[in-house]
Amino acid sequence: MASTHWPTNETTLSLVGPSVLEWANGLFSNNVQDLPIGGWQRNAMLDERGRVQGLMSLGRTAGSTLVLVLEGQSFEQFEERYRMHALLDDVEIEPLDWHVHTVQGAIPDLTAFRNSGGHVVPRKLSLQGGVDLLGASDWIAAVIGDTPIAPPDVREQLRIQAGIPVWPDDFSSKNLSHEMRMRDDYLAFDKGCYVGQETVMRVDVRGQVRKELRGIQLMSEPQDADVYCNARKVGVLTSSVAHPKLGWIGLAVLKDEAAVGATVQLGQVHGTVVLLPFEG
């Protein structure tokens, strides 16, 4: 697949303070403590019961400075959630006016741009993966040139085929990270305590969840979001799109009884449960 790109309009902010690494390590789901300067990682915000409350890209841009790219959250929402923690640990939360633009598929050579005014952040929103360009608008414009921006339906085709959920469209505040197929990219098992860790560890050790993000291949455009299997409601369709090769495809967190290969019904439309990512 040739590369394609589009703006994401996500919120950017910085965290600054002498104890910022320890602070973030105790609040977020990945190993921030060992992140090198220039390194980036995906992180989740969890509550005390291990339920996902938000997603982000997090980078260490200096010794005591972190930059966050919030998915589907405002600066005000983040600050309200963590203001008291920041005050106690002398961490400053400051808004940034950086732009975020994602490039997915075959990534062009970005060597000349990496240290020229912005950041290149790994971000998978397609089967092939890609990067986010993070910085000033003129720097991003210089990187992407005059190639056209992908329309919304193409963006959804790439994301849904790859089986990648976005916050908050595909989540509720009650979903566990393991239910959303986030284990490998978002969770660290080699660091100290953090908010929600007890549940994360317990679920990981048991190796089983009662529901999980799966794909549904639909016979036609869905007219209803509620998903039924054997006349029982088993989940809700959260994202769907017409794919040029696969037809209508969608994402849903489904209970165990809607196993891979099961026939499901959404109103008058039938579909088949499939493993993610979609093949094709």
Burial 127-158 (b: 16+ CB within 10 A, else e): beebbbbbbeeebbebbbeeeeebeeeebbbb
**Which two tokens mark 272?**
């088949």
Superfamily of domain 4-144: Aminomethyltransferase beta-barrel domains (3.30.70.1400)
Tell me whether residue 245 is exposed, middle or buried, using C-beta atoms within 10 angstroms of its C-beta: 0 to 12, 13 to 18, 19 or more: exposed
| Euclidean distance between CA atoms 278 and 127, whole angstroms | 9
Domain residues of the chain, as ranges? 4-144
* 111: confidence class by pLDDT, cuts 50, 70, 90: low
Which residues, other chains included, contact 15 with Cβ-Cβ below 8 Å and sequence gap of 6+?
23, 24, 65, 66, 67, 68, 86, 91, 92, 93
CA dist list (Å): 73 to 46, 105, 169: 14, 26, 12
pLDDT given for residue 98 in this prediction: 96
**Which two tokens mark 98?**
């950086």
Round the average pLDDT of the chain to a whole number and report it: 94
What residue spans of the chain are helical by DSSP H?
20-25, 75-89, 137-144, 152-162, 183-186, 197-206
Rg of the chain in Å (alpha carbons) = 20
| Euclidean distance between CA atoms 143 and 278, whole angstroms | 31
Fill in the amino acid letter for 239.
Answer: S
CA dist list (Å): 235 to 67, 117, 230, 251: 35, 45, 13, 10
CA dist list (Å): 77 to 90, 101, 274: 19, 22, 35
Backbone φ and ψ of 224, nearest 5°: -145, 145
277 prior amide bond cis, ω within 30:
yes
Tell if the pTM clears 0.85, that is, is over it.
Answer: yes
Asked whether the beta carbons of 223 and 268 are under 8 A apart, the reply is yes
Least confident of 14-23, 119-128, 137-146: 137-146
pLDDT given for residue 100 in this prediction: 97
Residue 114: is its pLDDT beyond 70?
A: no
What residue spans of 187-271 are helical by DSSP H?
197-206
Highest mean predicted confidence (pLDDT) among 103-107, 117-121, 241-245:
241-245
* pLDDT single digits (tens) 185-239: 999 999 989 999 999 999 999 887 899 999 999 999 999 999 999 999 999 999 9
* pLDDT single digits (tens) 247-280: 999 999 999 999 999 999 999 999 999 999 998 7
Instruction: Say whether 90 sits in a helix, a strand or coil.
Output: coil
